[in-house]
Structure 1
Amino acid sequence: MIFSRKRAGAGRQTRDERPEVRDENEIEAVTTPVLTRGPYDISEAPAGVARLDLGSLHIPAVPEVEVRVQADQQGVIQQVVLVHGENALQLGVFAAPRSEGIWDEVREEIRQSLFTDGAAAQEVAGEYGTELRARVTTPDGVTDLRFVGIDGPRWMVRGVFQGPSASDPAAAGPLTECLDGLVVDRGNEAKPVREPLPLRLPRDVADQAELQGEPEGASPDGGRPAARPRQV
């Protein structure tokens, strides 16, 4: 198929400060919540952007970036990975409480899990706030990973970079553009904290996959029909 809120420094996003006119003789500078980059909540997402609607995640269409998903026969997505050249970005989105973000707690749990598996992880101040970088051993050899988290209104996006972008964020290129343009549709229903938000294939893709009789969990680049991003 081709197709984290806090930042380091001052808050989740860079916001524009615009003057608010009280009357013709008085101008007071106030901070207006104008988001200049995402991930965005569905309520604040810019219009006029072509995105692939996967339910809780809407992924912007960026040239030369592949969106690879693994889904079951019902079209429920188990994994989303964006690929560009040697770099990959795995995405996940989770429910969070209204009152506070959860990335700090989740990051510590990831660090402890890596330590238990014999991998050291280091916290680093990054573009999305505090990131976690680790070097792990896989069947394919030693791999660098970079974990980022962005807290939003009642949700958290977790991204895991692999490839050169894991050790050098500047190498992420278009994958950063995808992450910054991501839109989260949390929905209004109550959900347990940290529960993954539901992801589904577009209906037309799921229907075509069912007609082709693909096995459960088939990889989209192994024959799943392509989905076209829609402009919203």
Structure 2
Amino acid sequence: MFRRRRREQPEQAAAEVAEQRPARESGPWDADEPHPEADRVDLGGMRVSVGEGLDVQIAVAGDQPIGVVVLHDDSVLQLHAFAAPKRGGLWDEVRTKLAASVKEAGGSVEVTEGPFGPELVGSIPGEAGTQSVRYVGIDGPRWFLRAVLSGKAALDAAAAEPFEAVIRDVVVVRGEDPMPPEEPILLRIPGERHATPGAPEAGLDPFERGPEITETR
């Protein structure tokens, strides 16, 4: 009896360790699932780790932080997390809305297969002329993460690599409070920040939030 129990203990310990390991090789991650430890900035509803050389800002609507803006060279990444229904994800629906909105605004997009699944890639009209844009959507458990790349990184794989690394390491903290689908998961700014107007535009927003400003971290 004792020999049998000694044989089972290592197996049980191995199983427990396996349960603590991520089921996938990369994120975005849900806060309640096993994920790699990293030096991430805790923004409440989102935890983000950013590599060296990337400029990070917080997108806010009024006084409320709602997203993350990452800048590098001539490219911009915007990250926003939204509540999603239990029954399934939002990306298929949002992707259709985005494509229609871009076309109505005089731009063009097409569906392509990217490292995170189906994406939208194309161009939109802007104040400085036509702007390349790439929309990425990731459905999580009761949340949806939208990533928008604009500038060179929208079309150039090498330029997109540091931004894709940011996306893969995001941890979304949905919380347990009831939220209607498509409602932004609110963030918090760590410490005092100085607000500055003029967030970089990264395309049309299917959730129709108001104007944004950025707060530099």
Residue 205 of structure 1, aligned match among 192, 212, 217:
192
| Partners of 2:154 and 2:117 in 1: CA distance | 15
Q: 1:220 — aligned with what?
A: 215
1:47 is displaced (CA, Å) by: 4.7
Are 2:66 and 2:184, in contact at CA under 8 Å, matched by a contact in 1?
no
The number of residue pairs the alignment matches comes to: 187
> What's the Cα RMSD here?
2.5
1:193 is displaced (CA, Å) by: 0.6
> Identity percentage over the alignment?
33
Answer yes or no: is 1:193 the counterpart of 2:181.
Answer: yes
1:218 is displaced (CA, Å) by: 6.1
| Partners of 2:196 and 2:147 in 1: CA distance | 27
| Partners of 2:108 and 2:61 in 1: CA distance | 34
Residue 32 of structure 2, aligned match among 21, 30, 43:
43
Are 2:123 and 2:132, in contact at CA under 8 Å, matched by a contact in 1?
yes
Answer yes or no: is 1:64 the counterpart of 2:53.
Answer: yes
Residue 114 of structure 1, aligned match among 99, 102, 122:
102
Q: Which 10-residue stretch deviates more, 99-108 or 62-71?
A: 62-71
| Partners of 1:103 and 1:36 in 2: CA distance | 21
Residue 124 of structure 2, aligned match among 108, 123, 136:
136
Answer yes or no: is 1:92 the counterpart of 2:80.
Answer: yes
The 3-state SS of whatever aligns with 2:159 is helix
1:171 is displaced (CA, Å) by: 2.1
1:68 is displaced (CA, Å) by: 1.1
1:79 is displaced (CA, Å) by: 4.1
TM (norm. structure 2) is 0.77
Gapped regions of structure 1 (runs ≥ 5)? 1-20, 25-30, 227-232
Are 1:45 and 1:183, in contact at CA under 8 Å, matched by a contact in 2?
no
Are 1:135 and 1:144, in contact at CA under 8 Å, matched by a contact in 2?
yes
Q: 1:215 to 1:159 in 2, by over 3 A?
A: closer
Q: Deviations over 1:106-163 (max 9, x none)?
A: 0000001111112121111111111001211111111100000000000010011111
TM (norm. structure 1) is 0.72
| Partners of 1:215 and 1:160 in 2: CA distance | 21
Gapped regions of structure 2 (runs ≥ 5)? 1-7, 12-17, 198-211
| Partners of 1:95 and 1:163 in 2: CA distance | 28
